Chains A and B, each alone.
Chain A
Amino acid sequence: MTTTRTGYKWVGTRPVRHDGLDKVTGRARFGADYATAGMLHGVVLRSPHPHAHIVAIDFSDALAVPGVKAIITGADLPDLSDEFGTGSEGGINFRDLSRNILARDKVLYEGHPVAAVAAVTLRIAQQAAEMIEVEYEVLPAVLSMEHAMEDDAPVLHDDLYTLGLDSPPERPSNISRRRVIARGDLDAGWEEADVVVEREYTTKAVHQGYIEPHAVVAETGEDGRSTLWCSSQGHFAMRTYTTKVLGWEPGDMKVIPAEIGGGFGGKTTIYLEPLAALLSRRAGRAVKMVMTRSEVFRATGPTSGSVMRIKMGARRDGKLVAAIAWMAYEAGAFPGSPIGPGVMTVLAPYDIPNVLIEGFDVVLNKPKVAAYRAPGAPMAAFAAESVVDELAEKLGMDPIELRIRNAVTEGVRAVYGPKYRKIGFVETLEEARDHPHYSAPLGPWQGRGVASGYWFNFGGETTATVSINEDGTAVVMSGCPDIGGTRAALAQMAAEELGIDVHRIEPVVADTHSIGYNDMTGGSRVAFAVGIAVVDASRQLIEDMCSRAALIWDVPREEVEWVDGRAQSVTGAAAPLTLEELASGSANTGGPLSATVTVNPRGAGAGFSTQICDVEVDPDTGLVTVLRYTVVQDAGRAIHPDYVEGQMQGGAVQGIGWALNEEYIFDRDGVMENPGFLDYRMPVASDLPMIDTVIVEVPNPDHPYGVRGVGETGIIPPMAAVANAVYAATGKRMQDLPMSPVRVLEALSGD
């Protein structure tokens, strides 16, 4: 269901996307679809141990294999000191990034790259990699958060001292950082509370699960200049990161974006890119590297497993008065879990006066985590929204009503500090409450749950160019990979501004040498930030074209206006000039029609979602079946409602997978047991019902059309919505994810 827009010709409509034809005919080229004549194939040798010293690496035999052209190890990468990527404190540390790309003295997870080989065929490269002799001194592995946080746990990094403690630590540990948010007076809060719920929750590491494995082709010339073809969420960042890790100059590398086969945050960092580039330089040939699915699981992604304890108190009238959240997130082998956004979002939907939130970033011998859709927020919401549901039950109050009574609104101070600007949380709650789904009847062993979620959204550095061709068609160029229909949305905004048919506009994702810098496609930023740049560029062009019409007509600029894709004389003194006429005659009026705009916009509107889930539980087997699901989300304004709905549906289903079956399973030795789609159980079509959507539109005042990011918020509520539904069906509170049949049956037999 969507509100139909009025007053716009293109914004809010559902045109066929511009890249669609290539994607239904198999012509679209994704990362692994590039090839150059005579290219080599590269493979990675990975650690079989989760924790070990590398004593020696001997690759002389491997290098002697006919057809092997280059072998590199950690010794071939420059040592970097701690240095953080722009604006990403607690995010990307180039020193860690480099050591994750190729291990140095230590391997820190099973699958950690140790060496890379390039050869004339994939088979030869694989055989050569098997011949590399690595001598390991195996160390005890740290595989659980509890173990990692113990005082006498083996330490992964002997230079890691916890930040954020009250007094500086004397010894290194596996806790990289502590974060605290506190406000109000907790004692007074508990005093006021009539009802208190306190629970512990755990979640497992889960993978982004994009269907396209990481892939790159690198070609480095004799002059040291290189070209990378790869699929990523941001080719500018790939260039920055890759050249940083290699010690090369960014200007010497061109990155050409392939179509990207899903990312969800997992393709915001690099893995193969520097290996392929360096192998290519060593071998003097292009090198292609493609991960296997097993490598994708073992050595990329996932997002954090977590342990959380939440205590919340409410007055009898439903007012939340106090809350404590203790949260620990797995970072994997290097610091950098999303604990920051975790502590900021865990209680963000509610106005609670007395709060203490404490979060820990914990390293252990598992793959280093990467961003995954609203990083840090979904697991936090699983815990907090489960507690809210339990409070509602104890208060005898409808869970949506309880949320409405405590929901943050414009001007309320968020728990993490700033005041909310215009937001639509209450609107999503009211829509959910009034939706027919919320009052539909249920059968035996069926239950309904609701939950909400909050995400910041993001703006970021952006360049966009709009150019008019001589036939009056236009090219909209940006530098943000299109993962889910953003090209169409950008073209729609340009069409709305320019007053031309959306299919007379060709939206293009340009390479690093063809457009100015763009941050990644992440943080739900593209329709917002690139949208602003495209609208600004379109408006500049209109201004330019109106001036040219004034020049042609020899009238003052004020007498020209832009209407329906034409310059019109307000006095009616001259016949209108179409875009095509202005473009074809541009040589006589000042040259080509093109405008480039760069922005780093503030005002990415915060996103809220409320979701309703019905499940049925088989009491004999513990199987949970999702029967009906509704996603209500504030999109600010849906430019292309199909793709807004798609983001909501896709996010919800990823969350359902996280809730029910997805998890990283490690054996006792720290080896991942399910590195494939057979046993890493993502939802399949027959597991699911249709996912109903309700797009709420509370326009973001800081975007010309009111856009808020929609890509991430949808994944935040599902785990709690499912858990609350399972409770309603069974009377059992599921506090550990995934809610697999084994766990549910165990809970049911606890009677």
Chain B
Amino acid sequence: MARIFFPTSLQQLTGGTEECEIEASTVRELFARLEERFPGIREQVASAAVAIDGDVVPGALLEPLDPDSEVHFLPAISGG
């Protein structure tokens, strides 16, 4: 199961939960599972940058998740 970390800004929606484990094989599936568990969160995570195993993945929706993946939601980073 992928390990999901919630930034402080999302913890209102997760009822204070900082991290959880979710069974999902892609980011899209992860978003659906998250929405079931924390209604309203999909819109928030969809607009964040998704980091999988330490790597920010642009346009991550179809990105596969490994069973031991770590997922973080970060502010977008624009380079200079």
Which residues of A are at the interface with B, using a C-beta cutoff of 8 A? 84, 86-91, 164, 166, 178-182, 208, 264-265, 268, 338-341, 343-344, 371-375, 414, 416-421, 456-461, 520, 522-525, 600, 602-604, 709, 711-712
Contacts and interface: CB of A to CB of B under 8 A. Distances in A.
A462 to B, nearest CB: 11
B67 interface: no
A180 B74 CA distance: 11
B80 A265 contact: yes
A366 to B, nearest CB: 19
Interface of B: 5, 7-9, 12, 47-49, 51-59, 70, 72, 74-80
Contact of A371 (B7, B57, B74, B80): B80
Contacts of B51: 417-418
Contacts of A525: 79
Given A181-B7, A344-B75, A86 B80 contact: no
B80 A712 contact: yes
A524 B12 CA distance: 35
A458 to B, nearest CB: 5
Contacts of A371: 78-80
Closest 10 interchain pairs by CB? A523-B79, A340-B75, A265-B80, A417-B72, A180-B8, A418-B54, A522-B79, A373-B80, A602-B55, A371-B80
A264 B47 CA distance: 26
Contacts of A374: 79-80
Given A373-B80, A417-B51, A89 B8 contact: no
A87 B58 contact: yes
Given A416-B74, A418-B70, A602-B57, A89 B7 contact: no
A460 B58 CA distance: 7
Nearest to A417: B72
Contact of A91 (B5, B72, B76): B76
Contacts, number: 116
Nearest to A651: B80
B59 A87 contact: yes
Contact of A602 (B52, B74, B76): B52
A603 B55 contact: yes
Given A87-B76, A604-B55, A709-B79, 5 more contacts: A90-B75, A90-B76, A344-B77, A373-B80, A417-B51
Main secondary structure on chain A at its contact with chain B? loop
A89 B54 contact: no
A712 B78 CA distance: 11
A600 B58 contact: yes
Given A421-B54, A600-B58, A182 B79 contact: no
Contacts of A520: 79
B77 A341 contact: yes
A13 B78 CA distance: 30
A418 B8 contact: no
Given A89-B47, A417-B72, A375 B54 contact: no
B80 A461 contact: no
B80 A87 contact: no
B79 A458 contact: yes
Contact of A164 (B9, B47, B58): B9
A338 B79 CA distance: 10
B77 A523 contact: yes
A712 to B, nearest CB: 6
B59 A86 contact: yes
Contact of A421 (B5, B55, B58, B72): B55
Nearest to A163: B9
A179 B75 CA distance: 9
Contacts of A340: 74-77
A416 B59 CA distance: 20
Contacts of B8: 180-182
A602 B9 CA distance: 25
Contacts of B7: 180-181, 416-417
B33 to A, nearest CB: 19
Contact of B80 (A179, A414, A522): A522
A371 B52 CA distance: 25
Contacts of A341: 75, 77-78
A182 B75 CA distance: 14
A86 B58 contact: yes
B70 A419 contact: yes
Nearest to A457: B79
Nearest to B75: A340
A709 B77 CA distance: 14
Contacts of B55: 418, 421, 602-604
Given A179-B9, A417-B72, A421-B54, A372 B59 contact: no
A418 B50 CA distance: 11
Given A459-B58, A461-B58, A600-B58, A88 B78 contact: yes
Contact of B54 (A87, A420, A459, A523): A420
A433 B56 CA distance: 32
A456 B47 contact: no
A339 B78 CA distance: 11
A496 B72 CA distance: 37
